Amino acid sequence: MGHETYWVDDEAKYAQLINSKSLVIAANVASENLPYERFAKYVVHNFDRMDFENKSNVLKLQVYTHAAYGEELGHSYIKYDSSSRTLFQPWGVAEPHGSWLQSKNKIGNIEYWIGAVWNNSLNQGNSDQIQLYVDALRQHGIRFRRVGGTRWLTKSGVSPNRAQILSNRSPVGAAIVGAWQMEAGYIPCRIFKNVAAGNTPISNSNFDHVFNGVGIYEPDIPQLILKALEVNRKKPNSDILTAQEAMKLFSYEKGIRRIIDSLP
């Protein structure tokens, strides 16, 4: 997009990089040493620092859930509230459209999960549902294998290209969400990554409005697997192309442009 960009650690020495032309994007988990400067512009995620509250040069960025509010920006899952200066939008896909796979190729008997299996004290994670997924896959002779995460975020992760290949080979290719995520209408990045890897949108939560009405959405995980295995045997599967066309709205570039357009 033509912008000079610095990705820095949360250390005080980097404060000197901020000037009147700066756009600073930060999250609460790495913001202890971030100074507030009235001449810069900020995009902040999950901040609870009072020095950033009610500032005209601060845009709040939140992940879309059913609790999102404000004016729709071209899609019901993208909203902007001018009074609080908050932009709500789903996670998206970082990989460029030219790298997306358009069909499932060599399907194996290992279901690869590239990402986290977790939970917390608020029970917001997916570990219980993933265990149901593992058990149901075993009934079909399919092994479950968790493979790190994205290499951009963790040293033990896999490259985006390798992640796509493994997801494409998976016999199901579902994005399994936890109970809280389902109830809240949270849209995980995993569903976008799976579709970019040539999978039909498949989940135990309903995302048909994200993907123009196509996909397999079934809260009963054993039934979800049965339906997915049947669909994944079909070639060609036009639903994949329909879903990928809808997903262009949620590319990282489109998301960044919405952030820039929403800046105070």
pLDDT of residue 2: 86
How do 86-89 and 110-113 pair as beta strands? unpaired
39-46's contacts with Cβ under 8 Å and 24+ in sequence apart are 41/263, 41/264, 43/259, 43/263
How do 110-113 and 143-146 pair as beta strands? parallel
Given a contact cutoff of 8 angstroms between Cβ atoms, the answer to whether 126 and 117 are in contact is: yes
| Model pLDDT for residues 127-142, shown as the tens digit of each residue | 999 999 999 999 999 9
Size of the chain, expressed as the number of residues it contains? 264
pLDDT tens digit at each of 264 positions of the chain: 888 999 999 999 999 999 999 999 999 999 999 999 999 999 999 999 999 999 999 999 999 999 999 999 999 999 999 999 999 999 999 999 999 998 888 889 999 999 889 999 989 999 999 999 999 999 999 999 999 765 455 566 788 899 999 999 999 999 999 999 999 999 999 999 999 999 999 999 999 999 999 999 999 999 999 999 999 887 778 899 999 999 999 999 999 999 999 998
Q: CB-hemisphere CA count at 13 Å for 71? A: 8
Residue at token pair 């075993």: 138
Measured CA to CA in angstroms, residue 145 lies from 68, 86, 88, 141, 253 at distances of 34, 38, 33, 13, 31
- What distance in Å separates the CA atoms of residue 15 and residue 155, rounded to the nearest whole number? 26
DSSP assigned state of 45: E
Peptide bond into 219 cis (omega under 30): no
Measured CA to CA in angstroms, residue 98 lies from 94, 126, 197 at distances of 12, 31, 12
How do 216-217 and 202-203 pair as beta strands? parallel
- What distance in Å separates the CA atoms of residue 61 and residue 85, rounded to the nearest whole number? 9
Measured CA to CA in angstroms, residue 204 lies from 67, 178, 198, 218 at distances of 20, 9, 18, 5
pTM to 2 decimal places? 0.93
Name which of 252, 236, 242, 161 is nearest 201 in CA terms.
242
Given a contact cutoff of 8 angstroms between Cβ atoms, the answer to whether 161 and 194 are in contact is: no
Q: CB-hemisphere CA count at 13 Å for 142? A: 24
pLDDT of residue 156: 66
Tokens of 93: 């896909």
